Structure 1
């Protein structure tokens, strides 16, 4: 979107906890806080300005997210055609398509250049607290995406035995899991980064960007490693890597 629309202000409607990441990355201009339980669509957006020039639905194939954006009365609304309505404008939704290919195809359908391989993020300015470490992230949003803690610990133990520095990262609420992995692996308590609250995004990005390798489940940390071009081993659960890797 940034390269296709260089003169536009880019506003991301997303949970407020992502504000730190938005500031650190600079890939969008500002965050519009959007609140809803779990992965639900918010009932409304706190948009107070004039109707946006373009609104893009990146939440799925609707209709709740499409209706939410339509309420803002944008000049152009970029969405997938609703399933079962072949005459509706917009590209068709393909459930077996990789996420990057899907959203880039939608943008191209509306005449915006989008390259699914153009996913690299700029390296963070902040120095890494553990350059060259192997970063383990045992957490994930959904339990089905989490590799067992004792297996992460076995990996950490083997890496430490071979002389690698190992850091176990944890998001908000993942502290007990990360500490358990570190303890089972025989790592020092200070090998755990984060846990009580989210790590500041700049620090997390620096850890990942300057890591020797990242070992993680299908989580945001794994995707961050891909975007920062860090070698990674990603353990997928119910969603195949051909769709989400």
Structure 2
């Protein structure tokens, strides 16, 4: 069995898809297991080729199954390395980390796109990869089709654009005739309701807390447009090639953004403070990506 560790969030799962697909192609007869949060199970099914999901929320677990090859797509170590070595796999594929007594593997670099990082790791071990292989399988039917998805939440406070600005964008989109829905996790429902209220949207347009990851993927896959911060919904828009405007800060889109050669996606970046991005700039980007998609 090949055991892959990526116990992170939706966006991290999506950026890891090319590496996961590369392992599947390289070892078609081997069982491929993914150690990831159980809540991502419905979304893991959309990756394709994953034989088993091993529930793993963070790096505290100690019950990972024994594998012939353990692959660290989680981080640079040392904790993630040690977790995978706990059950003594025959081989560990990971970035070099002397602190974890792992000198095999390439050197980690911070200045690298996340998709490319994990493909480079596998290539060092002789596994051919395709960093453009980002597409997910078709998701189930969504709660709403053809919507403009506005996703105001983000895990880290520094990546959150102001709710009143998201509301201004949502209000403008609704005035243009878009069916605007506000998405988010259960914890993000209060901010989603705030945005909807400021934008004068019906309460039924707040989908935050009402969708599992696969239903969220379905909503995005059948959307007309996505506007979000640097979070998982933006990566889903990339996977399904839905026109999107994604606001970045403090992390640069050079590390986490959509492929720069795709005209249907626009990453906005004005330095380390996402608040530097204005409403009019977002609306201008909406015009650009919707026109590109219609061309």
The normalised TM-score by structure 1 is 0.89
- Asked if 1:45 corresponds to 2:45, the answer is no
Q: What is the CA distance between 1:130 and its match in structure 2?
A: 2.1
User: Residues 6-26 of structure 1, C-alpha deviation per residue, up to 9 Å, x if partnerless?
Assistant: 112221112222223224544
- Asked if 1:35 corresponds to 2:57, the answer is yes
Q: After the TM superposition, which of the residue ranges 66-75 and 166-175 deviates more from structure 2?
A: 66-75
User: Residues 155-176 of structure 1, C-alpha deviation per residue, up to 9 Å, x if partnerless?
Assistant: 0000111111101111121111
The corresponding residue for 2:176 is 162
Bigger fraction of residues in helix:
2
Structure 1: runs of 5+ lacking an equivalent: none
**Distance (whole Å) between structure 2 residues aligned to residue 228 and residue 106 of structure 1:** 25
Task: Report matched runs for 1:73-222 at 5 Å.
Answer: 73-82=88-97, 88-124=103-139, 126-195=140-209, 199-222=211-234
User: Residues 44-72 of structure 1, C-alpha deviation per residue, up to 9 Å, x if partnerless?
Assistant: 1342xxx3121101121111111111122
Q: What is the CA distance between 1:43 and its match in structure 2?
A: 4.6
State the number of aligned residues.
234
Please say if residues 78 and 99 of structure 2, whose CA atoms lie closer than 8 Å, have aligned partners that are also in contact.
no
Please say if residues 83 and 93 of structure 1, whose CA atoms lie closer than 8 Å, have aligned partners that are also in contact.
no
**Distance (whole Å) between structure 2 residues aligned to residue 22 and residue 71 of structure 1:** 24
State the Cα RMSD in Å: 1.8
**Distance (whole Å) between structure 2 residues aligned to residue 142 and residue 106 of structure 1:** 27
Q: What is the CA distance between 1:75 and its match in structure 2?
A: 2.0
**Distance (whole Å) between structure 1 residues aligned to residue 91 and residue 146 of structure 2:** 46
Please say if residues 14 and 32 of structure 1, whose CA atoms lie closer than 8 Å, have aligned partners that are also in contact.
yes
Please say if residues 24 and 201 of structure 1, whose CA atoms lie closer than 8 Å, have aligned partners that are also in contact.
no
> Residues 52 and 204 (structure 1 numbering): CA distance in 2 closer, same or farther, change over 3 Å?
same
3-state secondary structure, aligned to 1:224: helix
